[in-house]
Chains A and B, each alone.
Chain A
């Protein structure tokens, strides 16, 4: 590169900086936010390799190497917790991802506008309730053996009331279903938006050719929104293992802990309730690494299959 050219580039840069200085200024708070609240706290992860003592701090605590990780892998509950985390997340991915899609397809075919709007409003609603409230409703109003609606219905039908919350075999199902109730409606928003952008002329010509509603759905609607589906799926994969603490916590009780204990709740118990910071940071780090591997392989698969990926 000649000196003249370098000069030119430098000059251009300078002018650019001057011309767009407002835009550059506006970027600064965002960058600062990420540095201060996302990147600097990352260094806190070093306590996973220490015998962290809250009274001595990061700089005063002794180093422990991989002791905390070794403790995790040898822990009697490690395999069950990993298993629970993966199973619950798989269930949630399977049902939590497909249900909104199906619901959106159904809502999309409602032709009566006011009815469709009404249905949409109602299915969105539970999304705005917190897990604490929603969990309370599910446990005391729906599933309680003495006053729950489901059990009253069962009794009316001549069946014995079921103690849903104490049957460990049903615990995961309840968590996943409650999640569906809460977020299924909200999940339809993006799909419905994508469906409105499908050209109506496609449907018109299809029906002229004699294609029924179902045929139209399979051959027009679904293919048209495949990019949206893939993007949403990848975003979801990115949150795999991040099931969320609250959602499990509200449903956990003495009789179902063994099937509902996931990394998030375990970290809360061992870390915040029992004060084992180093150990739980190690657990969190391990979880992040597993999540990263899943994200990476999910993205790879998606690229091979559809040509689309997150990055």
Chain B
């Protein structure tokens, strides 16, 4: 009997172990590949440096006798086609060219965009952290796993002490107010290399050819929009409006009520609460339910993933949707492959009953880089960033090699914008290498993109008037105890919203959700968020 018990115990142990072993092995594997890549890269880098006699980097080395600045950095692959199609990104021609040009020795570690948070966690857990880590928003982003608070990265104040003199270009380029967003405990930990000069990004897209067919004007209010969507439906458009799972990029009708499932705002009592529980959310959900009942919105919106959603749009089945304004060129080029006469235009987002419109305002800090506490060359790296802010470097990052990809005639740039997603993504990748970029729009490239005028017009005229201001509460302790109540994670909310959307429950079901949300820990979260707001510890998105 005793032996049997032991066997049973061992069996149980083995069962419990499987999960753990799985994790361990995976970690091990990724580590191996990472080091494998970096090793092969070192070799490649060396041969390159030896053979590259004429490049500027070699010259500089000859003058200053400086070794190439060696650093590794991690970033999300961002679903970038150019990156995904590259067999080994570190031997990519642009990486090599960049190394030669700026006397660097770069090793890139790509993290899968779709599993970004997990991959960041794995990276932190393995302890094998690159010199430079790039992540979204500021240090409170979920994927950062409280790494700054745990002392994984170094404070930069020392290096930035007389930054105005040392790195004049950098300090001029990066918007001043973004530094505050990466201050923890009074010290600056990150540089927001990718920032937004205009924090309203998401625009309403509509099929101009279809709108012309209906004979209707560009809609202004929600009622106008419903009219247009109905006319689209009569024209036989399969999905007059289409959204996607978790209400991602399904913002404009939430924005019309001044809310979004992802953002936080003050309620009428001055408490900082997630929009999920604000009464305007109930109205917004009821509106979506109406759209579905009337057949004006893709009924499968809540189960459609991003690629299926894009396919519906590209194949011309969608009349209206919302996405980042900057994507207008690629949406149009993909649409034209299937519908030659089709054309998307950016219109002002529909205005709701309280005068709200647009999606939501982003934080001006879109991507931040952090420096591993063991990285010694921060000074030189900042010097490199400073160089990246110069006109010359920005020309290179946007256009490519002068004489090869573009030329200058009479002071005017002659450049041909690529007509494929792959070509566009190649430019994006090159810009990743230089870190510094304004993601609202690229003043160099925009004039050359199809519809570039339209985009410029949107950014100058429409964008600034749109988008709900909101407040990011940062890292709350209560959210660590109840992560399932955080915006974006809250299954309770998504299930309630789906039930209302599909008419399985009346809109008043929302009130039950709010009560449950509060009783399950929401009250605690709101209390802490409000205190953080009153103490000025939050981040404003406006």
Roughly how many angstroms separate A258 CA and B142 CA in the complex, as a whole number?
A: 24
Roughly how many angstroms separate A144 CA and B127 CA in the complex, as a whole number?
A: 44
Residues in chain A near residue B245, CB distance under 8 A: 253-254
Q: Which of B151, B483, B502 contacts A270 (CB 8 A)?
A: B483
Interface string of A115-127 (1 = CB under 8 A from B): 0000000000000
Q: Which of A41, A57, A273, A284 contacts B118 (CB 8 A)?
A: A273
Stretch from B14-22, B76-84, B528-536 contacting the other chain = B14-22
A153 at the interface (CB under 8 A from B): no
B299 at the interface (CB under 8 A from A): yes
Q: A37-B21, A44-B20, A238-B11 in contact; A253/B303 too (CB < 8 A)?
A: yes
Roughly how many angstroms separate A261 CA and B489 CA in the complex, as a whole number?
A: 14
Find out whether the CB atom of B12 lies under 8 angstroms from the CB atom of A38.
Answer: no
Find out whether the CB atom of B302 lies under 8 angstroms from the CB atom of A254.
Answer: yes
Find out whether the CB atom of A292 lies under 8 angstroms from the CB atom of B8.
Answer: yes
A255 at the interface (CB under 8 A from B): yes
Residues in chain A near residue B491, CB distance under 8 A: 254, 257-258, 261
Roughly how many angstroms separate A272 CA and B121 CA in the complex, as a whole number?
A: 8
B339 at the interface (CB under 8 A from A): no
Stretch from B267-275, B442-450, B466-474, B492-500 contacting the other chain = B492-500
Roughly how many angstroms separate A272 CA and B238 CA in the complex, as a whole number?
A: 38
Closest partner residue, chain A, to B16 (CB atom): A288
Q: How far is the CB of A173 from chain B (nearest CB, A)?
A: 17
Residues in chain B near residue A140, CB distance under 8 A: 308
B147 at the interface (CB under 8 A from A): yes
A274 at the interface (CB under 8 A from B): yes
Find out whether the CB atom of A275 lies under 8 angstroms from the CB atom of B24.
Answer: no
Roughly how many angstroms separate A288 CA and B8 CA in the complex, as a whole number?
A: 12
Within 8 A of A (CB), among B1-41: 4, 7-9, 11-21, 24-25
Within 8 A of B (CB), among A267-311: 267, 269-270, 272-276, 281, 284-285, 288-289, 291-292, 295-296, 311
Residues in chain A near residue B483, CB distance under 8 A: 270, 274, 276
A166 at the interface (CB under 8 A from B): yes
Find out whether the CB atom of A296 lies under 8 angstroms from the CB atom of B8.
Answer: yes
Q: Which of B4, B150, B308, B489 contacts A274 (CB 8 A)?
A: B489
A224 at the interface (CB under 8 A from B): no
Roughly how many angstroms separate A54 CA and B246 CA in the complex, as a whole number?
A: 29
Within 8 A of B (CB), among A164-210: 165-166
Roughly how many angstroms separate A38 CA and B17 CA in the complex, as a whole number?
A: 6
Within 8 A of B (CB), among A22-57: 37-39, 41-42, 44-45, 53-57
Roughly how many angstroms separate A166 CA and B467 CA in the complex, as a whole number?
A: 31
Roughly how many angstroms separate A137 CA and B13 CA in the complex, as a whole number?
A: 36
A163 at the interface (CB under 8 A from B): yes
Q: A45-B16, A295-B8 in contact; A145/B489 too (CB < 8 A)?
A: no
Find out whether the CB atom of B303 lies under 8 angstroms from the CB atom of A165.
Answer: yes
How many residues of chain A are within 8 Å of chain B by beta carbon?
48
Find out whether the CB atom of B300 lies under 8 angstroms from the CB atom of A145.
Answer: yes
Roughly how many angstroms separate A285 CA and B15 CA in the complex, as a whole number?
A: 9
Q: A273-B489, A275-B145 in contact; A55/B495 too (CB < 8 A)?
A: no
Find out whether the CB atom of A292 lies under 8 angstroms from the CB atom of B121.
Answer: no
Residues in chain A near residue B151, CB distance under 8 A: 55
Residues in chain A near residue B499, CB distance under 8 A: 255
Closest partner residue, chain A, to B5 (CB atom): A296
Interface core residue of B14, B17, B245 (most chain A CB under 10 Å) = B17
Q: How far is the CB of A38 from chain B (nearest CB, A)?
A: 5
Find out whether the CB atom of A272 lies under 8 angstroms from the CB atom of B118.
Answer: yes
Interface string of A53-80 (1 = CB under 8 A from B): 1111100000000000000000011000
Q: A42-B17, A76-B520, A275-B121 in contact; A258/B12 too (CB < 8 A)?
A: no
Q: How far is the CB of A178 from chain B (nearest CB, A)?
A: 15
B462 at the interface (CB under 8 A from A): no
B394 at the interface (CB under 8 A from A): no
Q: How far is the CB of A134 from chain B (nearest CB, A)?
A: 16
Residues in chain A near residue B136, CB distance under 8 A: none
How many residues of chain B are within 8 Å of chain A by beta carbon?
49
Q: How far is the CB of B261 from chain A (nearest CB, A)?
A: 11
Find out whether the CB atom of B117 lies under 8 angstroms from the CB atom of A273.
Answer: yes
Roughly how many angstroms separate A55 CA and B150 CA in the complex, as a whole number?
A: 7
Q: Which of B13, B20, B303, B520 contacts A166 (CB 8 A)?
A: B303
Q: How far is the CB of A291 from chain B (nearest CB, A)?
A: 6
Roughly how many angstroms separate A145 CA and B246 CA in the complex, as a whole number?
A: 19
Interface SS of chain A: helix
Residues in chain A near residue B20, CB distance under 8 A: 41-42, 44-45, 281, 284
Find out whether the CB atom of B489 lies under 8 angstroms from the CB atom of A255.
Answer: no
Closest partner residue, chain A, to B129 (CB atom): A55
Residues in chain B near residue A146, CB distance under 8 A: 238, 299-300
Residues in chain B near residue A139, CB distance under 8 A: 303
B125 at the interface (CB under 8 A from A): yes
Roughly how many angstroms separate A24 CA and B125 CA in the complex, as a whole number?
A: 38
Closest partner residue, chain B, to A36 (CB atom): B21
Roughly how many angstroms separate A54 CA and B124 CA in the complex, as a whole number?
A: 7
Roughly how many angstroms separate A272 CA and B119 CA in the complex, as a whole number?
A: 9
Closest partner residue, chain A, to B302 (CB atom): A254
Roughly how many angstroms separate A103 CA and B145 CA in the complex, as a whole number?
A: 50
Roughly how many angstroms separate A273 CA and B117 CA in the complex, as a whole number?
A: 6
Residues in chain B near residue A57, CB distance under 8 A: 127
Closest partner residue, chain A, to B494 (CB atom): A254
Find out whether the CB atom of B497 lies under 8 angstroms from the CB atom of A144.
Answer: no
Q: Which of A39, A77, A165, A254 contacts B17 (CB 8 A)?
A: A39
Roughly how many angstroms separate A282 CA and B266 CA in the complex, as a whole number?
A: 37
Q: How far is the CB of B433 from chain A (nearest CB, A)?
A: 29
B540 at the interface (CB under 8 A from A): no
**Which B residues are within 8 Å of any A CB, using their own CB?**
4, 7-9, 11-21, 24-25, 117-118, 121, 124-125, 127, 142, 145, 147, 150-152, 238, 245-246, 299-300, 302-303, 308, 483-484, 489, 491, 494-495, 497-499, 502, 504, 520
Q: Which 4 A-B pairs have the closest CB atoms?
A: A255-B498, A292-B12, A254-B494, A288-B16
The 12 listed contacts between A and B (C-beta, < 8 Å) are A37-B21, A54-B121, A144-B300, A242-B15, A253-B245, A254-B494, A255-B495, A258-B491, A273-B489, A281-B20, A284-B16, A292-B12
Task: Other than A38-B18, A163-B299, A242-B15, give 19 A-B pairs with Cβ distance below 8 A.
Answer: A37-B25, A38-B21, A55-B124, A165-B303, A166-B498, A166-B502, A254-B246, A254-B498, A255-B495, A255-B504, A269-B484, A275-B145, A276-B483, A288-B15, A291-B15, A292-B11, A295-B8, A295-B11, A311-B7
